[in-house]
Structure 1
Amino acid sequence: MKKALVMLATAISMSGAFAQTSAPASAPAGAASAPAGKAGHERNVEDRIAYLHTQLKITSAQESQWNAFADVMRGNGETMGQLFQERKAATNVSALDDMKQYATIAQAHADGMKRLLDAFEPLYNSLSPEQKKLADTTFHQPGGGHHRQHDKG
């Protein structure tokens, strides 16, 4: 179970919500190799935001919806980063406390995905048919698109 928690923690903390989707090899190199810690985590989120902005070919008319979506990604990333730092800092926790921490993280992730969906829907609705195809391909990856390629294995 501990390995599964570590893998989940890594996947969520390194990527932040939709940033968890698989990034093709053309994604920014920093997204895969940024150092651990708050600065590295923030850089990963920012790299993913920049990648998605380019990948989806966001237009100036879509910037307000895009900015709302990107702000939610940043907020979710910050929340998850804080929760994982707290979890990492906790020592000598009981099995019950460990499960409570995990439940808190899982609930924060679910809440964050709901906020992200609420921000993504107006953006998606503003996309052209070509952009929607790009979004559909980008976010729908084998295995549900919930892990970046370098997190597998």
Structure 2
Amino acid sequence: MKKALVMLATAVAMSGAFAQTSAPASAPVSAASAPAAKAGHERNVEDRIAYLHTQLKITSAQETQWNAFAEVMRSNGETMGQLFQQRRAATNVSALDDMKQYATIAQAHADGMKKLVDAFDPLYNSFSPEQKKLADATFHQPGGEGHGHHGKGKGKSKDAAAAAAPASDAQ
């Protein structure tokens, strides 16, 4: 279950691309460390947005569609960050409660992906052929492995990779 959660967290990161900090799911988050984790999570989302903006060569004519897409990434990231923070803060949960938390996270991921796809569609349709090739390469996973493009484009530590899922996998 924890391995599945880590995989989901990695996929969710784009939603902002976005995600879980390095604290294990069972470790409580202290009141003092929660703001730092949130700040780090928000920074990861913003880093991901900036990376994609550059990677996809967004033009000034595409800024309106881009901004809508980026806002969905931020919103998804905030939602997922809150859910993971709640999960980390929960202690002594039963197996049933653990499964319910995971189901909530998985549903939020699915809902966020739908919003992200809806925001990406007009942006992608505004792309030049070169930009479409860049987007296709940026978000494609050869062989259908995993979720998103973890590690593409930036040197990633284990924690950074967990926080940098692609738009195609994001919430």
Amino acid corresponding to residue 57 of structure 1 in structure 2: K
Q: Which residue of 2 aligns with 1:17?
A: 15
Measured after TM superposition, the shift of residue 16 of structure 1 is 2.5
Shift of 1:85: 0.3
The answer as to whether partners of 1:65 and 1:122 remain within 8 angstroms in 2 is yes
2: CA distance, partners of 1:97 / 1:84: 14
- The aligned counterpart of 1:98 is 98
Q: 1:1-150 to 2 correspondence within 5 Å?
A: 1-9=1-9, 11-12=10-11, 15-17=13-15, 19=17, 37-142=37-142, 143=145, 145-146=147-148, 148-149=150-151, 150=156
SS of 2:40's partner is helix
SS of the residue aligned with 1:57? coil
8 A contact 1:55–1:134 mirrored in 2: yes
TM-score normalised by length of structure 1 = 0.80
Letter paired with 2:148? H
Change (3 A) 1:40 1:18: closer
Counterpart CA distance in 2 for 1:18 and 1:79 is 9
CA deviation profile, 1:82-118 (whole Å, cap 9, x unmatched): 0000000011111000000000000000000000000
Q: Is the 8 A contact 1:17 1:76 kept in 2?
A: yes
* Counterpart amino acid of residue 61 in structure 2: A
Aligned mates of 1:81, 1:132 — CA distance in 2 = 30
**Change in 2 beyond 3 A, CA 1:132/1:18:** farther
SS at match of 2:47: helix
Residue in 2 aligned with 1:26?
A: none
Q: Deviations over 1:10-56 (max 9, x none)?
A: x146x223748xxxxxxxxxxxxxxx711111111100100000011
Provide TM-score, normalisation by structure 2.
Answer: 0.72
Aligned residues: 135
Structure 1 runs not aligned, ≥5 long: 21-35
Output the aligned Cα RMSD. 2.0
> Separation in 2 of the partners of 1:86 and 1:144?
25
State percent identity of aligned pairs. 80
